[in-house]
Amino acid sequence: MPLETIILISFLFSSLSGVVFHFAHKKFPKNLLVHIFCPVNESVWEHTKLTFSPMFFAGLFQLFAINNFYPNHYLSILVSIVAGIVLVPVLYYPIRAIIKKEVVWVSIGLFYVVIIYAYFIEYSMLKNNTSIPGYNLETLSFWLTISLIFSYTILTFFPPKWGIFKDSIKKKYGDFK
């Protein structure tokens, strides 16, 4: 399967999953996996899960579809996911400061800009076989990607009292009784 097709399928999956994942916590409020992979509140941090989770699951598909054609596939998946996670607050806070309120369509547009950019990074890295010469980063990239799951788990259940973790509607951290 051509790389362009794999990236397009991944983008479409991430787009649809991001929408579904946004509402999953309300539908399944006691499901541990939903807590880990879907936003539990309206904080910016929890909304980074809308980038992380769909791209992580799409990355699993890509590992089978890409097979061994690209020796930097774990690195490319990790870098694209991290770029998406970082880009959410980097774009959200300046936009919010300019428009002074939450505009749903702007937030939805931001989600699509982030995943388009993240998949562009991944595509470029795979196509150009981007890596650090002399280093095999695939094993490290695999474990760093797995560590993101553990990080999201810990920070979901024990969010620090920092602004990025604060629910903008309920004005609290986390969403557990």
104-128 and 73-99 helices cross at what angle (nearest 10)? 150
Residue carrying structure tokens 């280093």 = 135
Beta strands in the chain (DSSP E): none
Domain extent listing, the chain = 3-165
Contact 120, 55 (CB under 8 A): no
**Model pLDDT for residues 148-168, shown as the tens digit of each residue:** 999 999 999 999 999 999 988
Rounded Cα gap, residues 56 and 61, in angstroms = 9
**Model pLDDT for residues 30-46, shown as the tens digit of each residue:** 888 999 999 999 899 99
C-alpha dihedral sign at 99, 105, 110, 116: negative
pLDDT higher than threshold 90 for residue 102: no
